[in-house]
């Protein structure tokens, strides 16, 4: 067959496609610090023995900094950057670039991977003889191994080999499937180097190349159906250079039978190093990137160029078998002088660095430049500069809001603010066929009680008296700006179901000449997207108004909790915290009542009635049949009982100071709180402070079932499922009563978060986890979390329903809640940080004229006991052209949805299946765009929609997250914790969680309030002489390079040298100098933006904690086998091409 033909066509749409498994992150809840047991270091303990460490590619070339101009359809073309320059990297060539007339394709084939890299798509071969041949690159490679005289070793397909030592180009991690790199012997033979063949022609004149199938496959690592039996070379090569064959085979045209010309660079003929050399890290420090020589301890491996950190590594000493530049290519890469303006972003048009910019040994290298691929930082910056200055006015249907990373002001003029609702697309397909074709999920991420910035108005509260809110007779939708008044205002037609309803006499108002009511601007429900109604008694349980809610604090007083100082800390904090219970805006004091319970194997209830001189303790030891031993005096008003409460909080730590009880119960604790709320006939929240696996004899008793051996097996899903149905049933009872559970966990070992968290999860509560809690390092974080958790706005006994206009309906829901039917989302509690994600499907056709409408109605009890309805409305456009769909998508929201979808998937499917399905769906989304919306161009180009150009980089971050690809040090509890956390995150939180924010602190302007410009998450962006801050919403790392000036170290840490900086610091010392003040103000600013207090971790370069830090440099290859951004982009390109063929 011809080399130009793909050997396999892609799978049919919709078929899940296996990809690769397993990625890693640090332990979340509490990263360890030196001096604590080793398990603490979240994820890492140095390289995995027996495998090389990945060296990510390093940037060298960059694309023209143009922004794509419109296509004929009015479509924004893909551009690697928006207007202007890229933030970091090599300066662009000074020549002006013309804007290409079409959607700018991005071609991963245009630049090469460094030789020594254990990159996924390693390729050895000569640079092409002329620029023309670069474009042969992706179009003219065979997919499939070439016929060689010996088959590649069995098992080198998709997972790590079981018996074969990794070949020198490959990197593998224990038990995880991963991308297998090319080895020199496994690639299509090159076209004869002297031929500059046109794209469509086969590179080999008369000789079809037969493909070689791999004989076997490693059990547990299925290759994707689209490339069954194909060795690693089924990835599209990532460089513009073809690979020479290294095994003898029939001579190729233009090449002698003796083998490749000796002058071909990159040809590796030395054997792979013996396994013993593989046990050390790859030459060069792991993961590459800081300018400077690699540690001298690693011996170079034969046949590979030593990798030097920095933008371009210099060769250190002569390399065996690595020839000089390929002769006869004086104009290789870029012509001397500025390159001419490109006609289209072909391989030829991604400029290489000018030859004179490179160190002399570098010239033959060619690889993909990280600066030439879409940069999250650039997209974020462009959006800030384009959309941050103007207010976002919500009066127009289907407007895509600014990104979550942009600060903007919202003016509500009829659609809900993006702070309440964000959609994956603001222009949805008219038909289900079109939606299926694109595979873009239609979903809304709704945060009904979101906190607004001070300069935006809170939703108005509308009181319609005893008659209650005006609603449609048929579908019960609430009055909103899209309802149509007819017959002079006497009736209205529902915008959701088209039913006509009489306007109640008290609500009647005349219409003006445009058909609008004359009181349009006086009524929030007619002119605004978000507002609240005061609910009538009909909206209350048992038709009676609710009592104000109660907070019950339930403290574990077992040996661990007392010994660590936790019990004393909680009691001290509660004395002052009780003054800050949430209250309605104008109230003098909070209406919330409080109660206290302590427990170990038995429960202790406290009577803190205001008339008592001293609190009274009542013990319930019959935990099998839980009851509350007192009614009067358990739940009290803080101000009335203050002296008794303070006395109790002083006594608790003393009472249990000498306890020897190590066992705890857990189920009965929740039952006790639930019974107390039932007896008081109110809703409320339990704050449970718990330390260990509940193994004491009692309902809900658990056993330790943690089993690392299940990872990457079909039984892995059981680790995420509760081990007993007891807690599911208990959660159901809690929701019925409006009893929300917030859980603060302080584990020193396995605690079964997957089971203990079920009640929290289904009642709409929050989990906080502080592994290996230590007073001195973790107290700040815990107290800040507790304060915020107690004070934040929360609604109780909540029910949410999402209504849609005819044509689509809500079919699936994600978040922390319970559902007893298919439409109502029930939450015992819903706070201002929680989101509910809703997926919509078509059940009929939509029309472009009328668009689509959503109305989210939340019925809840406020903290003062007032029953309210909060309404959010949003109108979307509908389209008959796919291009309109792709022009109005929001990638951040899409990733938020896909992550939640995947994280729910691991409950029922093997992790590998979930990962493959994600990759397949995104490949289908991008392939559909390429096929239906992009202007025609060669298959070797990767073309991404302008508003989805970050989909590959963000998707790769999700695939590399701890839930989907854990490292050996990530605990089962961490994974269950992260899974529950992400499920109710909003779009801004998932954005920074999956792609952390990296700020160069040394570049901060000490005289301004602004943050320094962020840089990309890759080690090669770090400089040894600087200090950086990385935040992901759970942790803040401050990374200090080994060459940082002594003055900066003195100013920030108060010590005189790098070696004196303590890695155990958990706060920055307060020093009176501008740099210290600036850095502390940045940290404070970031803490305020996040819903949880982030743990501060100081990381010194080359310290053991650096492994943990590097895990968050998500554009690099991860130690668990996660692909680098460049490699993953190439992999996506391969997937897309298979779908298109």
148-162: per-residue pLDDT in tens? 334 434 433 333 334
Among 366, 384, 739, 379, which Cα is nearest to 550's? 739
Non-local (6+) Cβ contacts of 133 within 8 A are 191, 196, 197, 240
pLDDT digit string (tens) for 420-445? 999 999 999 999 999 999 999 999 99
766 confidence band (pLDDT: 50, 70, 90) = very high
* pLDDT at res. 940: 85
Quickly tell me which residue has 């143009």 as its tokens: 66
User: What mean pLDDT do residues 856-871 have?
Assistant: 96
User: What mean pLDDT do residues 948-970 have?
Assistant: 94
| DSSP class of 94 | S
pLDDT(957) > 50: yes
> What gap in Å lies between CA 173 and CA 378, rounded to an integer?
33
> What gap in Å lies between CA 587 and CA 862, rounded to an integer?
13
Among 762, 38, 869, 867, which Cα is nearest to 532's? 869
Non-local (6+) Cβ contacts of 198 within 8 A are none
Handedness of CA 521, 527, 531, 533 (dihedral sign): positive
* pLDDT at res. 937: 86
pLDDT digit string (tens) for 578-632? 999 999 877 889 999 999 999 999 999 999 999 999 999 999 999 999 999 998 9
Handedness of CA 587, 592, 593, 596 (dihedral sign): negative
- List the single range of 34-48, 736-750, 892-906, 1088-1102 with lowest mean pLDDT: 34-48
- List the single range of 110-114, 715-719, 861-865 with lowest mean pLDDT: 110-114
| 264 alpha carbon, distance to own chain's centre | 43
* pLDDT at res. 449: 97
The backbone torsions φ and ψ at residue 683, rounded to the nearest 5 degrees and listed phi first, read -90, 175
Q: How many CA atoms lie within 13 A of 154 on its CB side?
A: 7
Average model confidence (pLDDT) across the chain: 78
* pLDDT at res. 204: 40
Region of residue 673 (phi > 0: left; psi between -120 and 50: alpha; otherwise: beta): alpha
pLDDT digit string (tens) for 835-853? 999 999 999 999 999 999 9
> What gap in Å lies between CA 599 and CA 618, rounded to an integer?
11
> What gap in Å lies between CA 299 and CA 294, rounded to an integer?
11
Non-local (6+) Cβ contacts of 824 within 8 A are 799, 800, 801
pLDDT digit string (tens) for 21-72? 444 444 444 444 444 444 443 343 344 444 444 444 444 344 333 333 333 3
> What gap in Å lies between CA 363 and CA 368, rounded to an integer?
14
Length of the chain: 1141
> What gap in Å lies between CA 1069 and CA 1065, rounded to an integer?
9
pLDDT(778) > 60: yes
982 confidence band (pLDDT: 50, 70, 90) = very high
pLDDT digit string (tens) for 890-922? 999 999 999 999 999 999 999 999 999 999 999
User: What mean pLDDT do residues 125-150 have?
Assistant: 37
pLDDT(248) > 60: no
Q: How many CB atoms lie within 10 A of CB 470?
A: 19
pLDDT(535) > 80: yes
User: What mean pLDDT do residues 757-773 have?
Assistant: 97
pLDDT digit string (tens) for 348-402? 333 333 333 444 444 333 478 888 999 999 999 999 999 999 999 999 999 999 9
User: What mean pLDDT do residues 738-751 have?
Assistant: 97
pLDDT(231) > 60: no
CA distance between the termini of the chain: 15
What is the SS3 assignment for 1029?
Answer: strand
The DSSP line for 785-819 is: HHHHHHHS-EEEEEEEEEEE-TTEEEEEEESS-B-
* pLDDT at res. 117: 39
pLDDT(318) > 90: no
Non-local (6+) Cβ contacts of 512 within 8 A are 518
pTM above threshold 0.85: no
> What gap in Å lies between CA 472 and CA 490, rounded to an integer?
14
* pLDDT at res. 584: 86
* pLDDT at res. 932: 94
> What gap in Å lies between CA 24 and CA 44, rounded to an integer?
9
- In contact, 137 and 238? CB cutoff 8 Å: no
* pLDDT at res. 967: 82
- Strand residues in 683-785 grouped as ranges (E): 684-690, 739-745, 767-769
Q: What percent of the chain has pLDDT over 70?
A: 68
> What gap in Å lies between CA 956 and CA 381, rounded to an integer?
21
pLDDT(562) > 50: yes
* pLDDT at res. 919: 97
The backbone torsions φ and ψ at residue 858, rounded to the nearest 5 degrees and listed phi first, read -115, 120
274 confidence band (pLDDT: 50, 70, 90) = very low
* pLDDT at res. 936: 87
pLDDT digit string (tens) for 794-818? 999 999 999 999 999 999 999 999 9
Q: Which H or E run includes 917?
A: helix 911-932
* pLDDT at res. 165: 41
pLDDT digit string (tens) for 636-666? 999 999 999 999 999 999 999 999 999 999 9
């Amino acid at each position: 067959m011809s080399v130009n033909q793909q050997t396999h066509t892609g799978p049919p749409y919709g078929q899940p496609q296996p990809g690769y498994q397993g990625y890693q992150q640090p332990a979340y809840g509490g990263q360890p610090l030196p001096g604590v047991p080793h398990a603490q270091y979240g994820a890492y303990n140095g390289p995995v023995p027996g495998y090389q460490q990945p060296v990510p590619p390093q940037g060298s070339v960059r694309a023209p900094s143009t922004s794509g101009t419109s296509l004929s359809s009015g479509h924004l073309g893909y551009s690697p950057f928006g207007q202007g320059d890229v933030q970091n990297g090599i300066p662009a060539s000074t020549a002006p670039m013309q804007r290409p007339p079409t959607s700018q394709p991005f071609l991963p084939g245009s630049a090469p991977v460094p030789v020594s890299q254990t990159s996924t798509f390693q390729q050895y071969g000569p640079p092409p003889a002329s620029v023309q041949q670069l474009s042969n690159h992706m179009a003219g490679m065979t997919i499939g191994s070439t016929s060689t005289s010996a088959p590649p070793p069995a098992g080198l397909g998709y997972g790590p080999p079981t018996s074969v030592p990794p070949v020198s180009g490959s990197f593998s991690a224990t038990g995880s499937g991963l991308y297998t790199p090319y080895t020199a012997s496994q690639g299509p033979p090159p076209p004869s180097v002297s031929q500059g063949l046109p794209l469509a022609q086969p590179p080999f004149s008369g000789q079809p190349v037969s493909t070689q199938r791999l004989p076997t496959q490693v059990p547990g690592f299925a290759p994707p159906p689209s490339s069954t039996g194909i060795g690693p070379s089924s990835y599209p090569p990532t460089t513009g250079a073809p690979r020479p064959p290294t095994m003898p085979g029939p001579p190729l045209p233009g090449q002698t039978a003796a083998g490749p010309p000796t002058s071909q660079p990159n040809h590796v003929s030395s054997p792979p190093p013996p396994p013993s050399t593989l046990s050390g890290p790859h030459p060069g420090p792991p993961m590459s990137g800081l300018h400077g020589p690699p540690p001298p301890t690693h011996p170079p491996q034969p046949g590979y160029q030593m990798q030097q950190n920095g933008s371009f590594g210099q060769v250190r000493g002569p390399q065996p078998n690595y020839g000089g530049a390929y002769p006869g290519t004086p104009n290789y890469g870029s012509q001397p002088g500025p390159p001419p303006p490109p006609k289209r972003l072909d391989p030829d048009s991604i400029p290489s660095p000018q030859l004179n910019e490179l160190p002399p040994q570098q010239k033959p290298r060619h690889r993909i430049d990280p600066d030439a691929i879409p940069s999250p930082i650039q997209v974020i910056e462009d959006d800030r500069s384009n959309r941050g200055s103007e207010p976002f006015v919500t009066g127009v249907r289907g407007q895509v809001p600014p990104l979550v990373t942009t600060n903007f002001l919202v003016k509500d003029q009829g659609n809900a603010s993006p702070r309440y609702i964000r959609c994956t697309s603001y222009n949805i397909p008219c038909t289900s066929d079109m939606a299926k074709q694109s595979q873009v999920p239609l979903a809304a991420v709704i945060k009904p009680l979101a906190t607004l910035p001070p300069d935006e108005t809170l939703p108005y509260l509308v009181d319609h008296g005893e008659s209650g809110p005006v609603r449609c007779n048929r579908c019960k939708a609430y009055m909103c700006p899209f309802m149509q008044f007819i017959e002079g205002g006497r009736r209205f037609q529902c915008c959701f179901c088209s039913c006509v309803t009489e306007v109640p006499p008290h609500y009647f108002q005349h219409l003006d000449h445009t058909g609008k009511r004359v009181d349009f601007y006086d009524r929030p429900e007619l002119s605004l997207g978000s507002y609240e109604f005061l609910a009538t008694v009909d909206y209350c349980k048992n038709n009676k108004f609710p009592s104000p809610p109660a907070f019950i604090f339930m403290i574990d007083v077992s040996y661990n909790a007392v010994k660590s100082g936790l019990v004393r800390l909680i009691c001290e904090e509660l004395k002052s915290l009780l003054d800050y219970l949430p209250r309605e805006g104008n109230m003098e004091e909070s209406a919330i009542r409080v109660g206290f319970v302590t427990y170990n194997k038995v429960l202790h209830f406290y009577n803190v009635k205001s008339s008592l001189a001293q609190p009274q303790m009542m013990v319930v030891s019959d935990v099998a049949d839980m009851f509350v031993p007192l009614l009067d005096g358990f739940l009290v008003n803080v101000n009335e009982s203050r002296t008794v409460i303070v006395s109790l909080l002083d006594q608790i730590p003393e009472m249990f100071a000498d306890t020897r009880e190590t066992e705890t119960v857990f189920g009965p604790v929740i039952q006790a709180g639930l019974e107390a709320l039932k007896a008081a006939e109110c809703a409320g929240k339990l704050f449970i402070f718990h330390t260990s696996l509940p193994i004491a004899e009692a309902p809900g008793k658990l056993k330790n079932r943690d089993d690392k051996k299940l990872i990457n097996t079909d039984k892995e899903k059981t680790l995420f499922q509760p081990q007993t149905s007891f807690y599911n049933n208990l959660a159901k009872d809690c929701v019925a009563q409006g009893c929300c559970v917030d859980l603060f966990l302080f584990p020193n070992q396995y605690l079964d978060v997957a089971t203990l968290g079920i009640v929290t999860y289904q009642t709409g509560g929050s989990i906080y986890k502080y592994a290996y809690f230590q007073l001195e390092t973790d107290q700040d974080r815990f107290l800040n979390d507790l304060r915020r958790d107690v004070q934040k706005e929360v609604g109780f006994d909540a029910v949410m329903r999402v209504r849609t206009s005819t044509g689509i309906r809500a079919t699936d829901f994600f978040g922390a809640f319970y559902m007893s039917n298919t439409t109502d989302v029930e939450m015992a509690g819903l706070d201002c940080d929680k989101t509910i994600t809703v997926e919509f499907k078509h059940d009929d056709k939509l029309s472009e004229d009328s668009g689509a409408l959503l109305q989210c109605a939340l019925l809840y009890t406020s903290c003062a006991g007032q029953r309210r309805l909060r309404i959010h409305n949003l109108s979307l456009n509908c389209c008959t052209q796919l291009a309109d769909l792709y022009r109005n998508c929001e990638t951040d929201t899409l990733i938020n949805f896909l992550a939640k979808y995947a994280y729910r998937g691991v409950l029922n499917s093997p992790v590998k299946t979930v990962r493959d399905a994600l990759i397949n769906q995104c490949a289908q989304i991008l392939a559909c765009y390429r096929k239906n919306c992009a202007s025609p161009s060669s298959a070797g180009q990767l073309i991404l929609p302008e508003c989805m150009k970050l989909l590959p980089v963000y998707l790769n971050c999700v695939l590399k997250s701890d839930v989907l690809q854990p490292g050996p040090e990530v605990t089962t509890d961490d994974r269950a914790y992260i899974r529950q956390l992400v499920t109710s995150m909003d779009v801004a939180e998932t954005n920074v969680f999956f792609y952390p924010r990296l700020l160069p602190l040394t570049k901060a302007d000490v005289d301004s309030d602004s943050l320094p410009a962020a840089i990309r998450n890759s080690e090669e962006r770090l400089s040894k002489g600087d200090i950086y801050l990385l935040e992901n919403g759970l942790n803040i790392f401050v990374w200090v390079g080994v060459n940082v000036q002594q003055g900066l170290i003195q100013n920030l840490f108060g010590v005189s040298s790098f070696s004196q900086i303590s890695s155990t610091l958990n706060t920055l010392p307060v020093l009176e100098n501008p740099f210290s003040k600036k850095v502390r103000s940045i940290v404070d600013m970031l803490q305020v933006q996040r819903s949880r207090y982030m743990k501060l971790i100081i990381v010194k370069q080359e310290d053991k904690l650096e492994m943990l830090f590097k895990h968050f440099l998500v554009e690099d290859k991860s130690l668990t086998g996660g692909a680098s951004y460049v490699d993953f982009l190439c992999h996506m390109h391969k997937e897309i091409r298979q779908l298109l063929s």
